[in-house]
Structures are given as structure tokens and as C-alpha cells.
Amino acid sequence: MTDDSLRIREGVVRGSAIRFGFDGRQIEGYEGESVAAALWAAGIRGWTSDHAEGPPSRTVFCAMGTCQQCALWIEGVRVEACCTPVRAGLDVRTRR
């Protein structure tokens, strides 16, 4: 299987592969990963937060729950993607 994600493969043990939804697309993630890491690994690094307008901006800037720029609607609740672990079938959206 070829892998074009930004995940470091060599020397890393990961949980099981899962899929979750992001604005109607299916994204691959691994148990234990944050939603932010899974999106970033898939090359999804910018979106327009729903309290803002304009072009997509930086998202995972602090990766530790400080900057709030990666906030997304996850299962209907607005939370930081960097602090939320992925699960199979998770419903993730940029806008409510």
C-alpha cells in the first residue's frame, strides 16, 4: 500500500486505522491520533473558521489547546481539533 500522508511511518507503532467524516469527505485516521493530526497528515491544513470570513487560514498553530484556531464542529460541539482524539465515524465539520 502506498502512503502519501505526512505520517512518520518508520519506527512508529499506531492504533488501528479508522475513517471519519470531514465536510462530507472520508478521511483516514489512527486510534490515538488527534483530529488535527489526522487532517494535517491528509494535507488538510487550512479552513475558514465559522466565526471568520475570508480565505482559509492557519489552523494547527499551537497544537495544545491555546490558540483555538483549529476549532471545528465535532459531533455537533465546537471543540479544538488538536485536543480531540479521532474515532471511527466521527462527524467533523468546519461549519455548523
9 lies in the binding site for other proteins (CB under 8 A): yes
What is Dmax (Cα atoms) for the chain? Answer: 41
91 lies in the binding site for other proteins (CB under 8 A): no
Binding residue (CB under 8 A) for other proteins from 61, 88, 91, 95: 61
87 lies in the binding site for other proteins (CB under 8 A): no
Taking the CA atoms of residue 68, residue 72, residue 77 and residue 79 in that order, the dihedral angle to the nearest 10 degrees is: -30
Contacting residues for 69 by C-beta, under 8 A, at least 6 apart: 49, 57, 58, 59, 60, 61, 62
| Sites of contact with other proteins (CB under 8 A) | 5-15, 30-34, 37, 40-41, 43, 45-47, 49-52, 54, 56-69, 71, 77-80, 82-83, 85
